[in-house]
């Protein structure tokens, strides 16, 4: 069974540009989460999808971040326009509906905004 | 903020048991204790979880005290590949996080040859 995959693995962009991160969860997992770790800080929750609906987006830092989950399958996280403080590692995780906190994480996307 | 307290770092000799403590004195009656780890440059990895009984799986054992205010993760025979940051997380239950994992600073475990 394939695990959670994320694309790209690395992205280097300039301040003001747009970047879109993609996450493919484990097949059959209704729950999909985005987290991020910025330099020197702890891993922080961003948002939670149940199928295609946003269940909790309390961790989204501001309106420059837009997450979607088309058809309840893969998800994208767009940052527009990117700022220097957005640099960090963005993790995606998925879980079954009945075991929300048992999450399987992808390898992360390392974003560097110059 | 994280509801758990863990030592910042620990060392363990290869082949010996690694015992990682965690305090969660404010845990509520229906919250679970979860353990994850993050090996350098990888995504966090689920290890084990429990409510009040001790649990064991192929990776580790989890011992939860009777008052549920603390727990210990045990890696029975640590290898160099177990070097990682280990996170103890309280989550779940009615009215709980609904899946939002709150990561603290964790314990950096270094397994030495």
Query: B interface toward A at CB cutoff 8 Å?
Result: 2, 32, 34, 38, 42-46, 49, 89, 91-92, 97-105
What residues 4-23 of chain A have any CB closer than 8 A to a CB of chain B?
Answer: 4
Residues of B in contact with A91 (CB under 8 A): 43-44
Closest-CA distance, A25 to chain B, in angstroms, reads: 13
Whether the predicted pLDDT of B94 surpasses 60: no
Secondary structure (DSSP) of A15-59 = TT--EEEEEE--TT--EEEEEEE-TTS--EEEEEEETTEEEE-TT
Closest-CA distance, A74 to chain B, in angstroms, reads: 18
| A42, A58, A107 ranked by CB distance to B104: nearest | A42
How confident is residue B110, by pLDDT bands cut at 50, 70 and 90? very high
* Per-residue model confidence as pLDDT tens digits over B54-68: 999 999 999 999 999
Q: Looking at residues B74-81, what average pLDDT do you find?
A: 96
pLDDT of residue B22: 97
Closest-CA distance, A18 to chain B, in angstroms, reads: 24
- CB contact, 8 Å: A108 with chain B? yes
How confident is residue A2, by pLDDT bands cut at 50, 70 and 90? confident
Of B47, B56, B64, B31, which is closest to residue B107 (Cα–Cα)?
Answer: B47
Q: Looking at residues B8-12, what average pLDDT do you find?
A: 97
Question: H-helix or E-strand containing A91?
Answer: strand A88-95
* Per-residue model confidence as pLDDT tens digits over A28-72: 999 999 999 998 899 999 999 999 999 999 999 999 999 999 888
φ/ψ of residue B75, rounded to 5: -100, 110
pLDDT of residue B2: 74
State the average pLDDT for chain A. 94
Contact B34 A48 (CB under 8 A): no
Strand pairing partners for B49? B34
Q: CA distances (Å), A41 to each of B4, B8, B26, B27, B109, in order?
A: 16, 14, 23, 24, 18
Cα B5 → chain centroid: 11
How confident is residue A99, by pLDDT bands cut at 50, 70 and 90? confident
Contact B97 A106 (CB under 8 A): no
Residues of A in contact with B91 (CB under 8 A): 101
């Amino acid at each position: 069974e394939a695990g959670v995959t994320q694309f790209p693995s690395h992205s280097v962009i300039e301040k003001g540009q747009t970047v879109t991160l993609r996450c493919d969860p484990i097949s059959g997992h209704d729950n999909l989460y985005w987290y991020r770790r910025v330099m020197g800080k702890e891993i922080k929750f961003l948002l939670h999808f149940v199928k295609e609906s946003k269940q909790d987006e309390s961790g989204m830092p501001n309106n420059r971040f837009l997450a979607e989950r088309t058809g309840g399958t893969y998800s994208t996280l767009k940052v527009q326009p990117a700022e220097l403080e957005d640099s960090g590692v963005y993790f995606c995780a998925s879980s079954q509906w009945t075991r929300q906190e048992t999450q399987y994480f992808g390898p992360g996307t390392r974003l560097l905004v110059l | 903020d994280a509801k758990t307290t863990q030592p910042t770092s620990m060392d363990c000799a290869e082949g010996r048991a690694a015992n990682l403590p965690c305090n969660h004195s404010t845990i509520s009656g229906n919250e679970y204790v979860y353990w994850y780890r993050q090996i350098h440059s990888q995504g966090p990895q689920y290890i084990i979880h429990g409510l009040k009984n001790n649990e064991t799986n192929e990776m580790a054992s989890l011992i939860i005290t009777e008052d549920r205010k603390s727990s210990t993760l045990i890696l029975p025979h640590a290898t160099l590949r177990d070097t990682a940051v280990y996170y103890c997380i309280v989550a779940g239950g009615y009215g709980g996080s609904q899946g939002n994992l709150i990561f603290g600073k964790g314990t950096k475990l270094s397994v030495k040859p």
